[in-house]
Amino acid sequence: QSALTQPRSVSGSPGQSVTISCTGTSSDVGGYNYVSWYQQHPGKAPKLMIYDVSKRPSGVPNRFSGSKSGNTASLTISGLQAEDEADYYCCSYVGSYTWVFGGGTKLTVL
Amino acid sequence: EAQLVESGGGLVQPGGSLRLSCAASGFTLNRNWMHWVRQGPGKGLVWVSYINSDGSSTSYADSVKGRFTISRDNAKNTLYLQMNSLRAEDTAVYYCARGDGYSLYLWGQGTMVTVSS
For residues A84 and A56, the answer to whether their CB atoms sit within 8 Å is no
CB contact under 8 A, B47 and A3: no
Buried/exposed A22-56: b ≥16 CB within 10 Å, e otherwise:
bbbeeebbbebebbbbbbbeeeebbbbbbbbbbeb
What is the C-alpha separation between B44 and A103, in angstroms, rounded?
6
CA nearest A91 in B: which residue? B103
Which of B47, B62, B107 is opposite residue A45, by nearest beta carbon? B107
Name the residue among A52, A57, A96 with its Cβ closest to that of B59. Answer: A96
Assess B105–A contact: CB distance below 8 Å, yes or no.
yes
Q: What is the pLDDT of residue B31?
A: 87
Q: pLDDT per residue over B82-96, tens digit each?
A: 999 999 999 999 999
- Contact yes or no for B103 and A46 at CB 8 A: no
CA neighbor of A106 nearest in space, from A3, A9, A41, A4? A9
**Using CB atoms within 10 A of its CB, is residue B112 exposed (0-12), middle (13-18) or buried (19+)?**
middle
Question: Over the stretch A27-85, which tens digit does the pLDDT of each residue have?
Answer: 999 999 999 999 999 999 999 999 999 999 999 999 999 999 999 999 999 999 999 99
Nearest Cβ partner for B44 among A45, A89, A93: A89
- Is the minimum CB–CB distance between B57 and chain A shorter than 8 Å? yes
DSSP string, A38-86: EEE-TTS--EEEEBTTTB--TTS-TTEEEEEETTEEEEEE-S--GGG-E
Given a cut of 90, whether residue A2 has pLDDT beyond it is no
Distance from C-alpha of A47 to C-alpha of A41, rounded to nearest angstrom: 9
Q: Indicate whether A1 pLDDT > 90.
A: no
Contact yes or no for B9/B20 (Cβ under 8 A): yes
Q: What is the pLDDT of residues B28-85, one digit of tens each?
A: 888 899 999 999 999 999 999 999 999 999 999 999 999 999 999 989 999 999 999 9
How many of the other CB atoms lie within 10 Å of CB of B35? 24
Residues 6-45 of B with CB under 8 A from A: 35, 37, 44-45
- How far is residue B27's CA from residue B9's CA, in Å, rounded to a whole number? 24
What residues of A are in contact with residue B37 (Cβ under 8 Å)?
Answer: 46, 101
Distance CA B107, CA B111 (A): 12
- Inspect the interface and report whether the beta carbons of B103 and A34 lie closer than 8 Å: yes
d(CA B38, CA A65): 26
CB contacts, 8 Å: B45 with chain A: 38, 40, 46, 89, 91, 101, 104
